[in-house]
Amino acid sequence: MAVTAAATAPAATPEAEPVPIFDVGIDDKVKISSSIGLGVQNILGMAGLLIFPALIGTAFKLSATDTAYLYGVTFMTSGLVVILQSVFLLRLPIVQGPYAGSLAALLAVGHGKGGLGAAFGSMVVAGLIWCVLAIPIKKYGLVTYLSKFVRDPIICGVLVLILATQLTSTALPNVLGTPGSPGFPGMNLVSGLVTALVVILLTLLPKGTILRRGAVLVAVVVGTVVYAIFEPTHFAGVVHNVGFTVPRIFPFGFSVDGELVLIFFITLFPAIAESIATYDIVAGWGGQELSGYRVSQGVFGEVLGSTVGAVFGGMSTLAYPDNIGLLRVTKVGSRYVTLATGVILLVLGGLGPFDHLLQAVPLPVLAAAGTVLFGVLFASAIDALSGVHWSRDNLMLAGFPFITAIGGLFVPPATMKVLPQVVQLILQQPLILGTVLLLLMKAGYGLRRKESSAS
């Protein structure tokens, strides 16, 4: 993608035209059969989508039926937003999935007064506030103004770098598993290694090759077969759980708490900033210009989908980092593949047997495939930063937020317990802390330059 010098460079340089890297362009159509295969691959690359509902079910001791419902409504929410983004609003190949920040917030506050009913009710109110703030306005919208900051290559690059680094906690640890779990540690490592190797080897094939485009899907199938040869799996349960998931309004009750609204409002902010950075990267890969108005449309679709999802008990969505890495690996940038992904998500979310199929795919296999994609995402952030003019200001702007944000993961539990709940959430989510620090420092540098120019 084209990268311009940061604002602190000695002299302004004109922005170069974006250089496409996709073999299949953003507006190119793909055969239906290929779109379906690539769409399924997209879903298999969404680690959070496949794991988060189960984590909520376990944390709140929900029944198997309620956990299956969470899977269904999370899939349907993601599918709805993906369809909106691919053909009606953003019009980019951006796959939306459940946001780790929302999961962390739910786990942090869902056991408090009002339980999940207050958590989801407050999430809806926070989402509605963001919907109003994100209404697409061509020149003067808040998101249009925010995008000017976020789309600076140094802000964009560091945000993605923080996100990719944070995702490492779901990579190798989930490949290894835990003591006492099936396959630990030997079979988990073997199946994970096979999965990762298949992804890497298939991506080295010539462009346009079917196996290259379906690298992750093929790798997950191969890894699952290898695992199933030596360890028990639960695919038999798929045929015994026939039924449909029907969304219910506020299935866990409804109430609103002001403090929780603030928490969820803050939680959505970095998701929006990260999504804007992702839009910019993907548009550059496809050789497309991205206006502030188009960014506003994308953010509005994202927060609208998150709000609707919360009404039915689903989580907030953001542009999914796993799939950004997948775009770079397959080099298929067609938004019609993304449309197919949304339709598949919407349909599968209503099918009971599919929830059990998800639970049968070994976690080490999914985590290993995700690890390769996270690595590609990390390298893409380095690529985005490669054209930055590394002045003293920019070194400070990139370094301090990154180190501080990641450092929050290592704050001792005893220290965390005595801090306010909002502060705990910010420190435990590097993307939240990093986004706040980046934008505050960027705004501060901008004010300093204006004062220097005035004097």
Give the residue with greater pLDDT, 149 vs 406: 406
Q: Is it the case that residue 340 has pLDDT exceeding 80?
A: yes
Q: How many CB atoms lie within 10 A of CB 433?
A: 23
pLDDT in tens, 280-301: 889 989 989 888 889 999 999 9
Judged by phi (left if over 0) then psi (alpha if -120 to 50, else beta), residue 243 lies in left
Contacts of 18 (CB under 8 A, 6+ apart): 1, 2, 283, 284, 285, 286, 287, 288, 289
Q: Is it the case that residue 163 has pLDDT exceeding 80?
A: no
Q: How many CA atoms lie within 13 A of 386 on its CB side?
A: 9
For 51, 58, 69, 310, the CA distances from 350, given in Å and listed in that order, are: 18, 21, 9, 17
The residue with tokens 């370094």 is 399
Q: Is the distance from CB of 302 to CB of 272 less than 8 angstroms? A: yes
Q: Is it the case that residue 152 has pLDDT exceeding 60?
A: yes
Query: What phi and psi, each to the nearest 5 degrees, are found at residue 29?
Result: -90, 150
Give the residue with greater pLDDT, 321 vs 93: 93
Cα separation, 190 vs 225, in Å, equals: 12
Q: List the structure tokens of 379.
A: 């390298």
Q: How many CA atoms lie within 13 A of 113 on its CB side?
A: 5
Q: Quick one: average pLDDT of 193-215? A: 82
Cα separation, 337 vs 158, in Å, equals: 28
Q: Is the distance from CB of 129 to CB of 265 less than 8 angstroms? A: yes
Q: Burial level of 183, CB count in 10 A (0-12/13-18/19+)?
A: buried
pLDDT tier for residue 3 given thresholds of 50, 70 and 90: very low
Q: Is the distance from CB of 399 to CB of 441 less than 8 angstroms? A: no
pLDDT in tens, 368-383: 887 887 787 788 788 8
Q: List the structure tokens of 139.
A: 């020149």
* pLDDT score of 125: 96
Q: Is the distance from CB of 312 to CB of 249 less than 8 angstroms? A: yes
pLDDT in tens, 107-119: 777 877 788 999 9
Q: Is the distance from CB of 100 to CB of 244 less than 8 angstroms? A: no
Q: What is the pTM of this model?
A: 0.72
Cα separation, 366 vs 44, in Å, equals: 7
Q: List the structure tokens of 200.
A: 């890497």
Q: Is it the case that residue 127 has pLDDT exceeding 90?
A: yes
pLDDT tier for residue 239 given thresholds of 50, 70 and 90: low
Judged by phi (left if over 0) then psi (alpha if -120 to 50, else beta), residue 91 lies in left
Q: List the structure tokens of 204.
A: 């080295």
Q: Is the distance from CB of 294 to CB of 91 less than 8 angstroms? A: yes
Q: Is it the case that residue 123 has pLDDT exceeding 90?
A: yes
Contacts of 228 (CB under 8 A, 6+ apart): 235, 362
Cα separation, 283 vs 156, in Å, equals: 13
Cα separation, 130 vs 194, in Å, equals: 43
Cα separation, 270 vs 265, in Å, equals: 10
Cα separation, 383 vs 1, in Å, equals: 8
